[in-house]
């Protein structure tokens, strides 16, 4: 329950509307409890003498009061339920912006499905508390008090009798509600398993077909689907028991009142009108009794959900601006230095980078080569501060990167990751992704230049809508090389002082690679560039080539120096030369 206190700040924001909503609840209930009183008076008066004016008077009174109460009901929903939707909106946005700030590590260690569940089910459960639970608790409370007061004013003894079944009813609703909720949660959980399976299946359809696994996938899905079906049957069983038992309890308490109340009418201790009003009030009490158990369940579910949300809200982004940040740094020149840098991904894992010392002058082009898994990607991830170094420090322009505002640091780096990711949007919007705040003319200019450098022009010309073509799931699928070149164009368009290319030419042929590298030469002037590749042809012209081996810098020098050194680099070079010769035969 304590977890729900965190919602205070949201409630405070809409305080006035919520109070107004409470006022409407009060007014709606105080008018609606008049209906049975009018019926009572009506019956008693009409029993004495039936007259048209009296009939019309009571009919109008009842309709009038019901109408007024209805107007207030409308206003309750317009205030409280609307507010609950507003708070849900705020909460969801807060949750999302918090997620966006969390570090890379969080997303690597958390399943996407879990995050989605928090963003949908948990926020929904909290909304059910903010709206219905809050509204109905005040609603049923006031209705209960008013009704009870009027019932006692009619007949104390009957009132006490009629209250007897209510505790039982509440407990019954509470336990049944809990059971239904549990079954419902299981259904939902299983449904996400089912959708995850379907999603993976559709993504992997190519593999399924290539390996002729359709039948086994059909069987697997059928089993999961059957499980879902059975879970639904379990819930239906409980649901179908719930209503008959509920009405049995209510019905039996009405019989008791009819019996004792009827005796009182016969003995002239009660008028027929009064008994009718009394039974109508009983009807009024049923809802609060049911609602009590229901509200308790909603509140408990919301508390559990809010607890999970609070736990996420409590996670501090590991990498963020701190007291070390020097906000006077507004731009970077591009000199990068690694000083005794060591890094491992987790406490218990071995070091991936060991005592790296490297100084890259501003404007220079450095290349990194080395066997797969030797730590190249890791090295550049550290410059972007996707992770922080474990030992040593990285400096840019002499500033430890921890002192550079994160926004400045990342704005100055144009990064092409090893694994291309493009959004399901137009080609143009993908390339312009890093260009917020620029004027349209500038954006178009930059895109044009980037497209040219990345040698995308011929491809774009062949697309039906040119650069406005939608790519990804909603549009056309790009080839591996086209994706890589789009990713390069996106980085070029952004135009920071530091360019990092992580093995991003692996899917283009050597002649296209050559064109791009030649185009890039001009762009790289005045920029510090770091190029990772497995191909000597990509990197041979770099000012310096770093050979990483098992997390340490094994060799460093120009292409000629390293060939002459006759070490790891020379071996890779000879192998690739041989491959090329074989290809040409
Ligand atoms: N998030 C991670 N958590 C734990 N270990 C990781 C993580 N990312 C990479 N590693 C490990 O770190 C080592 C270096 O990986 P890295 O991606 O830097 O290699 P690489 O040199 O870029 O390889 P490639 O040439 O295949 O791209 C590998 O052994 C890898 O398994
Ligand atoms: Mg890599």
Q: Whose CA is nearest to atom 25 of ligand 1?
A: 372
Compute the distance from residue 352 Cα to the ligand 1 centre, in Å.
Answer: 8
Q: Whose CA is nearest to atom 27 of ligand 1?
A: 372
Compute the distance from residue 107 Cα to the ligand 2 centre, in Å.
Answer: 19
- Is residue 374 in contact with ligand 1, taking CB distance under 6 Å? yes
| Per-residue confidence band for 277, with pLDDT thresholds at 50, 70 and 90 | very high
Q: Which ligand is nearest to the CA of 549?
A: 1
Residue 178 has pLDDT above 90, yes or no: no
Q: Report, as an integer, the average pLDDT of 295-322.
A: 88
- Asked if 329 contacts 399 with a C-beta cutoff of 8 angstroms, the reply is yes
- Asked if 387 contacts 105 with a C-beta cutoff of 8 angstroms, the reply is yes
Q: Whose CA is nearest to atom 4 of ligand 1?
A: 345
Output the DSSP codes for 563-581.
HHHTSHHHHHHHHHHHHHH
Residue 174 has pLDDT above 90, yes or no: no
Residue 414 has pLDDT above 70, yes or no: yes
Q: Please choose from 373, 390, 546 the residue to mutate so as to test ligand 1's pocket, defined by most ligand atoms within 8 A of CB.
A: 373
| Per-residue confidence band for 410, with pLDDT thresholds at 50, 70 and 90 | very high
Q: Within the chain, which residue ranges are assigned CATH 1.20.1560.10?
A: 84-314
Give CA–CA dist 301/124, Å, rounded. 10
Angle at CA 69, nearest 5°, toward 68 and 72? Answer: 90
Compute the distance from residue 418 Cα to the ligand 2 centre, in Å.
Answer: 6
User: 459-473, pLDDT tens digit by residue?
Assistant: 999 988 899 999 877
Mean pLDDT of the chain: 90
Residue 117 has pLDDT above 80, yes or no: no
Buried/exposed code over 201-214 (b: 16+ C-beta within 10 A; e: otherwise)? beeeeeebeeeeee
Angle at CA 309, nearest 5°, toward 304 and 315? Answer: 135
Q: Which residue has the higher pLDDT, 176 or 394?
A: 394
Longest dimension (CA), the chain: 122
| Whole-number pLDDT of residue 474 | 67
Give CA–CA dist 29/33, Å, rounded. 6
Residue 583 has pLDDT above 80, yes or no: no
Percent of the chain with pLDDT over 90: 62
Compute the distance from residue 109 Cα to the ligand 2 centre, in Å.
Answer: 19
| Whole-number pLDDT of residue 225 | 95
Q: Whose CA is nearest to atom 18 of ligand 1?
A: 375
Q: Whose CA is nearest to atom 31 of ligand 1?
A: 373
Output the DSSP codes for 39-79.
HHHHHHHHHH---HHHHHHHHHHHHHHHHHHHHHHHHHIII
Q: Report, as an integer, the average pLDDT of 481-497.
A: 93
Phi, psi dihedral angles at 542 (to 5 degrees): -65, 155
| Whole-number pLDDT of residue 219 | 96
Q: Which residue has the higher pLDDT, 321 or 474?
A: 321
Where does 158-297 show beta strands of DSSP type E? none
| Whole-number pLDDT of residue 145 | 93
Compute the distance from residue 373 Cα to the ligand 2 centre, in Å.
Answer: 7
- Is residue 352 in contact with ligand 1, taking CB distance under 6 Å? yes
| Per-residue confidence band for 288, with pLDDT thresholds at 50, 70 and 90 | confident
Q: Report, as an integer, the average pLDDT of 191-198.
A: 83
| CATH domain 84-314 topology | ABC transporter transmembrane region fold (1.20.1560)
Q: Please choose from 372, 375, 502 the residue to mutate so as to test ligand 1's pocket, defined by most ligand atoms within 8 A of CB.
A: 375
| Whole-number pLDDT of residue 358 | 95
Output the DSSP codes for 304-321.
HHHHHHHHHHHPPPSSS-
Residue 115 has pLDDT above 70, yes or no: yes
Q: Within the chain, which residue ranges are assigned CATH 3.40.50.300?
A: 336-412+497-585, 421-495
Question: Which ligand 1 atom is the nearest neighbour of the CA of 370?
Answer: 21
User: 523-578, pLDDT tens digit by residue?
Assistant: 999 899 999 999 998 899 999 999 999 999 999 999 999 999 999 999 999 998 88
Q: Please choose from 377, 530, 547 the residue to mutate so as to test ligand 1's pocket, defined by most ligand atoms within 8 A of CB.
A: 377
User: Taking phi first (over 0 means left), then psi (-120 to 50 degrees means alpha), and beta for anything else, what does residue 81 get?
Assistant: alpha
| Whole-number pLDDT of residue 472 | 79
Place of tokens 């109508």: 280
- Asked if 258 contacts 136 with a C-beta cutoff of 8 angstroms, the reply is no
- Is residue 376 in contact with ligand 1, taking CB distance under 6 Å? yes
Its CATH architecture, for the domain 336-412+497-585, is 3-Layer(aba) Sandwich (3.40)
Compute the distance from residue 37 Cα to the ligand 2 centre, in Å.
Answer: 80
- Lowest average pLDDT, out of 75-89, 502-516, 548-562, goes to 502-516
User: 27-46, pLDDT tens digit by residue?
Assistant: 999 999 999 999 999 999 88
- Lowest average pLDDT, out of 142-151, 192-201, 458-467, 540-549, goes to 192-201
- Asked if 487 contacts 420 with a C-beta cutoff of 8 angstroms, the reply is yes
Q: Which ligand is nearest to the CA of 349?
A: 1
Indicate the burial class of 134 (C-beta count within 10 angstroms; 0-12, 13-18, 19 or more).
buried
- Is residue 372 in contact with ligand 1, taking CB distance under 6 Å? yes
Q: Report, as an integer, the average pLDDT of 267-273.
A: 92
Q: Which residue has the higher pLDDT, 383 or 177?
A: 383
| Per-residue confidence band for 221, with pLDDT thresholds at 50, 70 and 90 | very high
Question: Which ligand 1 atom is the nearest neighbour of the CA of 105?
Answer: 1
- Is residue 546 in contact with ligand 1, taking CB distance under 6 Å? no
- Asked if 31 contacts 69 with a C-beta cutoff of 8 angstroms, the reply is yes
Place of tokens 């390293």: 562
- Is residue 345 in contact with ligand 1, taking CB distance under 6 Å? yes
Compute the distance from residue 391 Cα to the ligand 1 centre, in Å.
Answer: 18
Q: Please choose from 352, 368, 386, 531 the residue to mutate so as to test ligand 1's pocket, defined by most ligand atoms within 8 A of CB.
A: 352
Question: Which ligand 1 atom is the nearest neighbour of the CA of 381?
Answer: 18
At the top level of CATH, the class of 421-495 is: alpha beta
| Whole-number pLDDT of residue 266 | 94
The β-bridge partners of 471 are: 476
Q: Report, as an integer, the average pLDDT of 391-396.
A: 96
Q: Please choose from 343, 348, 378 the residue to mutate so as to test ligand 1's pocket, defined by most ligand atoms within 8 A of CB.
A: 378
Give CA–CA dist 560/541, Å, rounded. 10
Q: In what order do the strands lie in the sheet with 391-396?
A: 353-360, 336-343, 391-396, 399-400
Residue 341 has pLDDT above 90, yes or no: yes
Residue 444, CB-side half-sphere exposure with 13 Å CA sphere? 4
Name the nearest CA neighbour of 485 among 422, 443, 547: 422
Q: CA–CA distance from 18 to each of 1, 21, 22, 87, 301 (Å)? A: 21, 5, 6, 11, 22
Q: Report, as an integer, the average pLDDT of 151-175.
A: 86
């Amino acid at each position: 329950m304590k977890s729900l206190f965190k919602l205070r700040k949201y409630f405070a924001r809409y305080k006035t509307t919520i109070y107004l909503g409470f006022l409407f609840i009060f007014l709606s209930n105080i008018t609606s409890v008049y209906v049975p009183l009018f019926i009572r008076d009506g019956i008693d008066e009409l029993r004495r003498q039936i007259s048209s004016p009296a009939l019309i008077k009571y009919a109008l009174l009842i309709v009038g009061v019901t109408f007024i109460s209805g107007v207030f009901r409308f206003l309750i929903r317009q205030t409280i339920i609307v507010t609950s939707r507003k708070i849900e909106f705020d909460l969801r946005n807060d949750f999302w912006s918090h997620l966006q700030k969390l570090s890379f590590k969080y997303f690597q260690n958390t399943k996407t499905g879990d995050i989605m569940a928090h963003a949908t089910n948990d926020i929904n459960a909290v909304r059910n508390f903010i709206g219905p639970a809050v509204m109905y608790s005040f609603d049923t409370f006031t209705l209960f008090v008013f009704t009870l007061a009027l019932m006692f004013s009619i007949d104390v003894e009957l009132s006490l009798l009629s209250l007897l079944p209510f505790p039982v009813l509440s407990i019954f609703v509470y336990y049944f509600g809990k059971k239904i909720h549990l079954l419902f949660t299981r259904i939902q959980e299983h449904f996400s398993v089912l959708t995850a399976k379907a999603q993976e299946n559709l993504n992997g359809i190519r593999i399924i077909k290539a390996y002729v696994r359709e039948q086994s996938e059909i069987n697997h899905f059928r089993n999961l689907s059957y499980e879902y079906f059975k879970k639904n049957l379990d819930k239906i069983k409980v649901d179908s028991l719930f209503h008959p038992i509920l009405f049995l309890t209510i019905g039996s308490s009405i019989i008791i009142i009819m019996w004792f109340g009827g005796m009182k009418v016969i003995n002239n201790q009660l008028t027929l009108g009064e008994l009718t009003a009394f039974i109508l009030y009983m009807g009024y009490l049923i809802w609060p009794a049911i609602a009590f158990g229901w509200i308790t369940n909603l509140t408990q579910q919301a508390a559990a959900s809010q607890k999970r949300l609070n736990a996420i809200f409590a996670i501090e982004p590991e990498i963020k601006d701190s007291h070390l940040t020097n906000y006077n740094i507004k731009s970077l020149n591009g000199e990068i230095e690694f000083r005794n840098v060591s890094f491992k991904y987790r406490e218990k894992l071995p070091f991936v980078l060991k005592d790296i010392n490297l100084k890259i002058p501003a404007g220079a082009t450095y290349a990194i080569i080395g066997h797969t898994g030797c730590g190249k990607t890791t090295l550049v991830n550290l410059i972007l501060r996707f992770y922080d170094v474990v030992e040593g420090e990285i400096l840019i322009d002499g500033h430890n990167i921890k002192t550079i505002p994160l926004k400045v640091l990342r704005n100055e780096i144009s990064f092409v990751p090893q694994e291309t990711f493009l959004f399901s949007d137009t080609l143009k919007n993908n390339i312009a992704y890093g260009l917020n705040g620029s004027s349209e003319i500038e954006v178009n200019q930059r895109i044009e230049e980037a497209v040219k450098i990345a040698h995308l022009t011929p491809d774009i010309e062949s697309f039906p809508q040119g650069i406005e073509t939608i790519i990804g799931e909603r549009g056309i699928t790009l080839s591996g090389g086209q994706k890589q070149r789009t990713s390069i164009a996106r980085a070029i368009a952004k135009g920071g002082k530091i360019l990092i290319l992580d093995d991003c030419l692996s899917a283009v042929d050597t002649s296209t690679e050559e064109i791009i590298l030649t185009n890039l030469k001009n762009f790289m002037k005045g920029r510090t560039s770091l190029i990772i590749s497995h191909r000597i042809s990509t990197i041979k012209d770099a000012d310096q080539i770093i050979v990483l081996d098992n997390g340490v810098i094994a060799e460093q020098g120009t292409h000629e120096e390293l060939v002459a050194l006759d070490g790891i680099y020379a071996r890779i070079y000879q192998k690739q030369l041989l491959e090329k010769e074989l290809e040409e035969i």
